[in-house]
Chains A and B, each alone.
Chain A
Amino acid sequence: MNAATPASPPAQSPEARSPPLRPGAWRRFPALLHRGFKHPGASAGVKGRILFLALDRILFSVVTLLIVSVAVFFATAMLPGDTATILLGQAATPEAVAGLRKAMHLDDPAAFRYLHWSFGLLRGDFGRSYANDLPIAQLVGGRLANSLKLAAVTTAFSVPLALLLGITSAMFRGTAYDRSVTFLTIALISVPEFMVATAAVLVFSVYLHWLPALAFANEITTVGQLLRVFAMPVITLTCVVAAQMIRMTRAAVISTLASPYAEMALLKGASRQRIVLRHALPNALGPIVNAMALSLSYLLGGVIIVETIFNYPGIAKLMVDAVATRDLPLIQTCAMIFCVGFLILTTLADIVALVANPRLR
């Protein structure tokens, strides 16, 4: 729902560009469609066209990022609350406030300040934190690495899990197994992330006593402690992300199973496994990768909650703390980092969809 759509090119069927195949030809030779069969008209131009569309999509992302940066800057810098007054507190003299405003260039026109800020970002100069006057790059660096570590471990767990459950539930569609997987994913998607986290704590530490309820990443000395610190956040995030992935993977496989060549395979007597693994899966690969990239963008929302509840020293926790202290430059930087990550994932998803689905070209 949050994903940016590609700037959709006018839908153009392959037939419009080349002499049409005899109607029904592919129906008699379904193998043509998944054995690297190339359409007669689709030789040299296709790669160039994909490249062009991908570049178009990337350009759209850059424009989006520009709009987002304007939104971030103006949302945080222009709205009520005078920064100098906040910094100096209620008791500040008007002269001190005026002096600080001047020193921080707060009296310059907004457009000017925006340009100053955005070019600073491009040069890697993120400014200084209001709260403790440290360079923001220094504050963000280690935290970002921690968050990426968490994201990587979560991805490593959730992708195989989601593939397995998504594909098998599509394979055994309508059975009790499929229905319970579907119910579980819908339940996970429709409750807030913090509830998944609290449920994980209740189950694994309160009732089973396997894991400590809260652990801190700065006490890591052994592998065992590392596992203990990571376990809870990773379990929670995996549940949140994998639920989305399973849903989308299942939908992708089911929609390929509805296509004529899958029906053909059924008619010629192929087994269920064979239809799914040999006929449907290769064609569903594009949508599945697309689904994976899109679901990973749900990490961003989940990570904000998870880092807070488990006290994990990542960038999302940094941002939540910055919001509580109204540390505007830090909020702006964290917000931009999040948006860049989100845009990279959605752009990647769209490009994969573009490469995989000839109808979008």
Chain B
Amino acid sequence: MTSIELAAPRRMRRWSFNTTGSVGFAIVLFWAVVAILAPVLIRYPVGQIVDTDYFGSGSSTLWMGSDYLGRDVFSRIVMGARYTVGISLVAVVFACGSGVVLGIVAAVAGGRLDSVLSRFLDAMNSIPSKLFGLMMVAAVGSSIPWLITTLAVIYMPGAFRFARSLAVNVNAMDFVTVARIRGEGVLYLVLREILPNITGPVLADTGLRFVFIVLLLSGLSFLGLGVQPPNADWGALVHENLQGLVFGAPAVVYPCLAIASLTVSVNLLIDNLPRKIRDRSA
């Protein structure tokens, strides 16, 4: 992040991914569709006990076996996608939205506002995320709105720092100086001059932060402190079926695989973004 090279402004973008990137994109798209269509896709109501055996293995009716109460694991994972993807998505939008706006404002305004904001958010950033999560859950509990707030607060400082470091570079460019001399206000500088020039890297960073949020949310749920029953995200599914681990039950394995497929594919997608978008941050 030491220097920034701007591509020629507004050339026609060609959204060509390489193979790895396309695979990542396809899996991400797949989970998005699953989350949206979840109520249609499930084979049994998520709370219904459909198997007399617990931790049953997969069969033609129960594709992914049954969980610790004999419920259908497949249906629960499909519904869990809504919680994992939905909560993380809302949280990342809040975190990156507020972080990026504050970051650019800090870079444009400079002076005392910048240094106070930077110092404070850097301090926030130096609280390990999982610890921060535990503290917030202890303080405000883990209802879904509070979980979203917690996740957004934890990852906002990182987004702030990333956006600020990019914006500082753009802010030093001549066209910004010209706009400032022209008498444009802070809002215009932020929205029209700087934001369009850092969109690519900021979007890539948002994707990475989405992965971190999915990981933290799953971690909290795994500890039993995230999404609470009767709802369950993927981390909570692993948590409630953990006793099945000693038999290698599919009820533990499949939610793990679901999380891994989502996080790994987002990472693959971002690593293989078209150079025009990604390399602006280099």
Contact = CB atoms under 8 A, between A and B. Distances in A.
Contacts of B253: 198, 202
Interface stretch (A26-34, A161-169, A317-325): A317-325
Given A63-B119, A79-B139, A305 B219 contact: yes
A207 B246 CA distance: 10
B222 A305 contact: yes
A194 B263 contact: no
A338 B256 contact: no
9 contacts: A2-B128, A2-B158, A4-B122, A4-B125, A192-B259, A194-B222, A207-B248, A339-B128, A346-B126
A63 B123 contact: yes
B225 interface: yes
A243 to B, nearest CB: 13
Interface stretch (B39-47, B92-100, B130-138): B130-138
Contact of A300 (B131, B223, B224, B238): B131
A1 B259 CA distance: 21
A202 B126 contact: no
> Which of B131, B211, B238: most chain A Cβ within 10 A?
B131
A94 B81 CA distance: 45
Contact of A2 (B125, B224, B247): B125
A2 B126 contact: yes
B30 interface: no
Contacts of A276: none
A322 B215 contact: no
Interface stretch (A12-20, A37-45, A48-56, A64-72): A64-72
Given A190-B267, A191-B263, A192-B259, A71 B124 contact: yes
A323 B224 CA distance: 10
A132 B184 CA distance: 62
A75 B259 contact: no
B129 A2 contact: yes
- Nearest first, the 4 closest Cβ-Cβ pairs linking A and B are A67-B123, A79-B139, A4-B126, A64-B123
B140 interface: yes
B56 interface: no
User: Which interface class (under 10, 10 to 19, 20 to 34, 35 or more) fits A?
Assistant: 35 or more
Interface string B124-158: 11111111001111111100000000000000001
Contact of A194 (B120, B131, B219, B225): B219
A309 B246 CA distance: 12
B238 A198 contact: yes
A322 B225 CA distance: 12
B126 A68 contact: yes
A187 B264 contact: yes
B264 A202 contact: no
Interface string A327-341: 010010001001100
Interface of A: 1-5, 63-64, 67-68, 71-72, 75-76, 79-81, 186-187, 190-195, 198-199, 201-202, 205-207, 213, 297, 300-301, 304-305, 308-309, 319-320, 322-324, 326, 328, 331, 335, 338-339, 342-343, 346
Contact of B222 (A75, A192, A339): A192
B260 interface: yes
Contact of A190 (B120, B128, B246, B263): B263
Contact of A198 (B135, B252, B267): B252
A68 B123 contact: yes
Given A68-B127, A194-B219, A301-B128, 19 more contacts: A2-B129, A4-B125, A63-B119, A67-B119, A67-B123, A68-B123, A190-B211, A192-B219, A195-B238, A198-B238, A198-B252, A199-B256, A206-B246, A213-B245, A305-B130, A320-B223, A320-B225, A335-B131, A338-B131
User: Which secondary structure dominates chain A's binding surface?
Assistant: helix
A304 to B, nearest CB: 5
Q: Which of B123, B252, B260, B266 has the most CB of A within 10 A?
A: B123
Interface in B38-84: none
> Looking at A68, A198, A300, A324, which has the most chain B CB atoms within 10 Å of its CB?
A198
Q: Which of A80, A192, A199, A319 has the most CB of B within 10 A?
A: A192
B125 A192 contact: no
A190 B264 contact: yes
Contacts of B266: 190
Contacts of A3: 126
Contacts of B245: 198, 201-202, 206, 213
Contacts of B259: 191-192, 195
Given A63-B119, A202-B245, A324-B225, A76 B130 contact: no
A305 B238 CA distance: 13
Residue in B135, B136, B219, B260 whose Cβ sees the most chain A Cβ within 10 Å:
B135
A192 B218 contact: yes
A342 B130 CA distance: 12
B235 interface: yes
B134 A342 contact: no
Contacts of B120: 67
A213 B131 contact: no
Nearest to B138: A323
Given A64-B122, A305-B222, A320-B223, A75 B129 contact: no
Nearest to B239: A194
Given A72-B135, A213-B245, A331-B135, A342 B222 contact: no
B7 to A, nearest CB: 23
Given A79-B140, A201-B245, A206-B248, A190 B222 contact: no
Contacts of B127: 68, 71-72, 339, 342
A324 B220 CA distance: 12
Nearest to B267: A190
B223 A304 contact: yes
A207 B211 CA distance: 30
